[in-house]
Amino acid sequence: MAHRFEIRKNKKGEYVAYFCYNAETMFWTEGYASKASAQNAIDSIKKNGPAAETVDAT
């Protein structure tokens, strides 16, 4: 599968959710104190992301 979410720990020991395409990280979340919070962020992106509008701020 080319697209995936990964939960990793950053240097501060916080859990961060990353969205990756092949070997490239496309975006990541803020750091969370618990792995469950990072998973909640992923679930929220999956639920709300498809309906999100695109705003061109250029």
- For the stretch 1-51, pLDDT in tens is 689 999 999 999 999 999 999 989 999 999 999 999 999 999 999 999 888
Q: How many domains does the chain have?
A: 1
CB-based contacts of 49: which residues, under 8 Å, 6+ apart? none
CA atoms within 13 A on the CB side of 28: 15
Say what the pLDDT of residue 1 is. Answer: 65
Residue 56 inside a domain? The answer is no
Residue 39: inside a domain: yes
Residue 29: which CATH number?
3.30.160.160
Say what the pTM is. Answer: 0.84
> CA 44 → CA 3, 15, 37, 49, distances in Å?
17, 16, 10, 8
Would 57 be classed as within a structural domain?
no
Q: Which domain holds residue 18?
A: 3-51
